[in-house]
Structure formats: structure tokens, C-alpha cells
Amino acid sequence: MSAEPHLVEDEGGSLTALLEVEDTTVQVDDGVARRPEPLALVVFGASGDLAHRKILPALAQLVERGSLDDHVAVVGVARSEWTDEEFRAMCRKLTPAGSSGAWEALVEGFRYVAGDYGDDATFSTLATVLDELDETRGTSGNRMYYLATVPAVFGQVARSLAAHGGSEPGRGGTFARLVVEKPFGSDLASAQELDAELHQAFREDQIFRIDHYMGKETVQNVLALRFANSIFEPVWNRRYVDHVQVTVAESLGVEHRGGFYETAGALRDIVQNHVMQVLALTLMEPPSTMDAGGIRDEKVKLLRSVVVPDPDEAVNNVVRAQYGAGIVGGEDVPAYRAEEGVDPVSETETYVAMHLLVDNWRWAGVPVYVRTGKRLATRATEVSMVFQRPPHLPFAGKLARDLRPDTLTLRIQPDEGISLCFGAKVPGPAFKVRTVAMDFSYADAFPGGTAEAYERLLLDAMGGDATLFIRSDEVDQAWEIVAPIQQAFSEGEPPLARYRAGSWGPIEADRLVEGGGRQWRNP
């Protein structure tokens, strides 16, 4: 059926595009078509927070949806002195609402190996358990090891696995894969060291590095927007785009992770990985193929072109800041320095804003502003392409006072969708123009909802599809970009600015973009 879009003005004055298409309830891909082969999934760090909050619940959802083969078995490995039954009891508590019983049935076959990661016995016991599962659960010798541990033991676990034959498939199997969580190092040198250690045990094509932002539907939708349409690409360049903004704002603080965050800060925790991934997908060249090689090659090429202007002068192009006490969502919240596990005189940044450039044919001279912070006014991740003003406005200045530059915003979360802001005539005798918004909402167009990032990534890793995982050269390149900033931070430059919890960050970040009359687009 042909679609006749019409615009409706809502109370706030924004125009909403109503697209009457026959099938507005297109169902999301439930993954059934991509059912992976039988396998044993070994979760290192099985008694820890990540396994409990993300990995096992995602697995439970996949099982309930029928996305997995019946011959998938799980082995938890951790230091906690649990038995098989205690591990199973923990997993049963993660049963999804409205369960068909499939998860609990699978959990019956789960195994647990208690042991130290430095102890040989842990790995020989694991090897025995895996052999048993091949016999009893039909896991067919296929292995997927998930490192949900502290990064300090990644190398050791990989080496010990290899020493016990674990980096090769078991008898009759076709694969052994290693899934690694971030952080991949804490700078370029440590990332390369970690890679060298992993590569002693596993080949690059066996390693699946997770950046959970790549599992988000709306991050993948950047590719659909750009490459499934013909109207955006022609303006996706320096001739039309004035500047680009990437915001990853969180209203949460550091929660119970103060100790970890003290060693990370916003630059390592978010900019080096999530921000760079979103940036790469948004600004890269069209890939020749939508597969792991095609997409990752283009991402690396883009990252190679990203520079911090005047690296010696980080002070002019980078803002680092830390939150003080304030009010978030109507609640009083403490200053970062008063959080549990945080040094009371900590200089760790909880906010970073940067002016970057992409030194290539498409983007030369276009400022790219990125910012991320904890305890900001709201939780919102989005990318905005802010277009150049028209060359000449044929209206009297005061009639166009409320006209902002045309902006295409990709709302990655929450309220997932895309909005296009442009000028429209305000009804009435005067030719007044004002900015209005045309909105696409994921929830309205696809009421079935979207899968959690970890579900998608787990399923892809089990199926051997590396497209959404981070290749080692991407990791290195992202560290290269932030290296001069890390250097400046370690020398106390730029001075640590302050912002109130619940605000939009420090005044210094506004100044960063104010040149040329620009301003942050606050969601």
C-alpha cells in the first residue's frame, strides 16, 4: 500500500509524521532463523555481577524465545565455593516473567566448577566436565568461553584454557571461541599486551570482544538509516553538515562501582569504546558488504582519521569535570568524592567533552563534539547531525528568531527513534518561521519491542557472526585517539572542572562549542 505521510502539530508545537503504512506492526526478528549449533557455554566469573545482571538473564530470554538449540549447556566457573545445585538455584531466580518452563528445564543440566583462575586443577576439572557434557548433553565438542571476570585475569584464563586443550574444539566439535568483556586494556600499550597474551592462546577469528553498544538495535539502525535510504547520504558530508554532536549522558552515578571507576574515569569507561563505536558507524564510508570484514574495515578506516586538534593543547579542545552534590530525579545525591570507594580528594573525571576532527575527504573541517557524563540531568544517548544554515534567509531577522539549524537526531536511548528538526511557518498573517520536529518512534513503529543488547551479542557469538564485535585493530585505534588526552589528564590538564549533579555539565563544555554560535542540543 502506498503511504501518504501527513504532519500533525502536537501541543508542544512539534510536527509528528503519521505514516499510514499497512504493516505498522512489523515484528522484530526473534532470532529463530539464526539458531546456533549445539555448544557448551563456559562463563568465567559466573558468581559475579555481570553474569548475574546481564549474561545469564540474556541467555534465559533466548532460551524462552526458542532461539537456542536444546543441546546448549552452561558451565559456571568462579572462585565462590558453590556446588552445581547452588549455581542452578541462582540461575532459577533469573527465570523470566511468563516463562514457559524452558529456562528451568535447561538449568537442570547446568554445571559449576569452583576454583582459582591461577590453579591448574580448575582447568583440568573444567576439561573433564566439558567432556562429560559432550556425552550427556550432546554439546558436540563446541565451546564458547565467556570472560566475565576482572580484566587482570583475562590473559591467564586464556593461557590455561589453551594449556588444557580448550582453545581447540573438543572431540567432534567445530569451534572454540573466546568472548571478552571490556575494558580491553587501560591504554594503547596495555591493550596491545593483552592482545598479545590472548593471541598466544586463541586466533583473532576466535576472539569476540564485546562492546554492548554494538548490540543495541538503535546503534545498528544507524547503518539502516544511512545505507537503506537514498535521501540522507547525499547530505552526509562537509558540504551540508555544520557539525556533529554525540552525547552519552547518564543520570546514574557510579553506584557501587566507585573503586573500579576511580581507575577508569569517563574517558576510559565510555569515550574510548562506546562513543568511538557510535562515531565510527555514523561517519564511516559505506561498506562494500554488510558483514564482519566489510563493516569493521570501514570502522577502522574512520577511526584512523579521527584526531584531537592540537594534541599539545588539550586544554582548548577537551573538558574534564567531576560532579558535586545535587538533585537528580527529585532526590538529593552526593558528590562523586563522597561516593563509596572514592578517594575524598579524587581527581577522576566523571564527565568529558571533546572537540574532534575527522581528517578525511568527507569530513575535513567539520567539528565533531562528543560528551559523556554521569549524574547529568537525564539519561540520553544520541547523535545529532547539525546542518548548515541556508545561505540566505529571505525573512526579516526577527521573524526567523526562533529558527535553529536543521538537525537530524538519532535517539539511541531511551525513547529510541529519529527526529528531524526543520523550519516551518507559524500560522498567522506574519511570515514567522520556527523550528518544529518530525518524529519517528521505535516503540510506535515496532510495538513488539527490541531484544536486550546482550541477547543479540550472545546469539551472534554462538552463531559465529563477528560483525558486531570489536576487532583488535579497532581497539588499538580507539586508544590511539584518546592517548594524547590521557597524557594531558595525567599531567593535570585541562584543570578538573565541576558541575552540579542533575545539571547538563560544566560551563566549560558550553564554551567548547560556542564558537560559530553553536550550542549543545540538550535532549
- Residues lying near ligand BG6 in the complex (CB under 6 A): 212, 250, 269, 381
The closest of 72, 203, 216 to 142, measured between CA atoms, is: 72
CB of 505 vs ligand BG6, minimal distance in Å: 16
* Closer to ligand BG6 by Cβ: residue 212 or 432: 212
Query: Are the beta carbons of 297 and 284 closer than 8 angstroms?
Result: no
Query: Are the beta carbons of 375 and 251 closer than 8 angstroms?
Result: yes
What residues are paired with 209 via a beta bridge?
Answer: 180
CB of 212 vs ligand BG6, minimal distance in Å: 6
CB of 433 vs ligand BG6, minimal distance in Å: 36
* Closer to ligand BG6 by Cβ: residue 181 or 406: 181
Which residue is at the shortest CB distance from ligand BG6? 269
Sign of CA dihedral 182, 187, 188, 194: negative
* Closer to ligand BG6 by Cβ: residue 134 or 269: 269
* Closer to ligand BG6 by Cβ: residue 64 or 269: 269
| Interstrand relation of 407-413 and 6-9 (parallel, antiparallel or unpaired) | unpaired
Cα gap 409→246, rounded to integer Å: 10
What residues are paired with 434 via a beta bridge?
Answer: 402, 424
The closest of 228, 213, 219 to 410, measured between CA atoms, is: 219
CB of 294 vs ligand BG6, minimal distance in Å: 26
Question: Helix count (H) and strand count (E) of the chain?
Answer: 16, 20
* Burial class, 296, CB count within 10 angstroms (exposed 0-12 / middle 13-18 / buried 19+): buried
Q: What would the grid cell of residue 269 be? A: 569507561
Query: Are the beta carbons of 468 and 214 closer than 8 angstroms?
Result: yes
Eight-state DSSP code of residue 517: G
Query: Are the beta carbons of 377 and 502 closer than 8 angstroms?
Result: yes
CB of 409 vs ligand BG6, minimal distance in Å: 17
Eight-state DSSP code of residue 410: E
Q: Residue 306: which residues within 8 A CB-CB, separation 6 or more?
A: 276, 279, 356, 357, 358, 359, 368, 481
* SS3 (DSSP) at 238: coil
How are the residues of the chain apportioned to helix, strand and coil, as percentages rounded to the nearest 5?
A: 40, 20, 40
* Closer to ligand BG6 by Cβ: residue 211 or 297: 211
CB of 278 vs ligand BG6, minimal distance in Å: 11
Angstrom CA distances, 290 to 10, 213, 277, 279, 281, stand at 38, 18, 16, 17, 12
* Closer to ligand BG6 by Cβ: residue 183 or 287: 183
* Closer to ligand BG6 by Cβ: residue 269 or 460: 269
* Closer to ligand BG6 by Cβ: residue 111 or 268: 268
The closest of 213, 217, 214, 236 to 226, measured between CA atoms, is: 236
Query: Are the beta carbons of 107 and 133 closer than 8 angstroms?
Result: no
The closest of 327, 523, 506 to 413, measured between CA atoms, is: 523
Angstrom CA distances, 375 to 118, 338, 382, stand at 38, 13, 17
Cα gap 229→506, rounded to integer Å: 38
* Closer to ligand BG6 by Cβ: residue 238 or 257: 257
Residues belonging to the active site: 274
CB of 275 vs ligand BG6, minimal distance in Å: 11
CB of 50 vs ligand BG6, minimal distance in Å: 10
* Closer to ligand BG6 by Cβ: residue 143 or 212: 212
CB of 72 vs ligand BG6, minimal distance in Å: 25
Query: Are the beta carbons of 226 and 233 closer than 8 angstroms?
Result: yes
In b/e form, how buried is each residue of 99-135, taking b as 16+ CB within 10 angstroms?
eeebbeebbebbbbbbbebeeeebbebbbebbeebbe
Cα gap 106→101, rounded to integer Å: 9
Q: What would the grid cell of residue 24 be? A: 505498522
CB of 381 vs ligand BG6, minimal distance in Å: 6
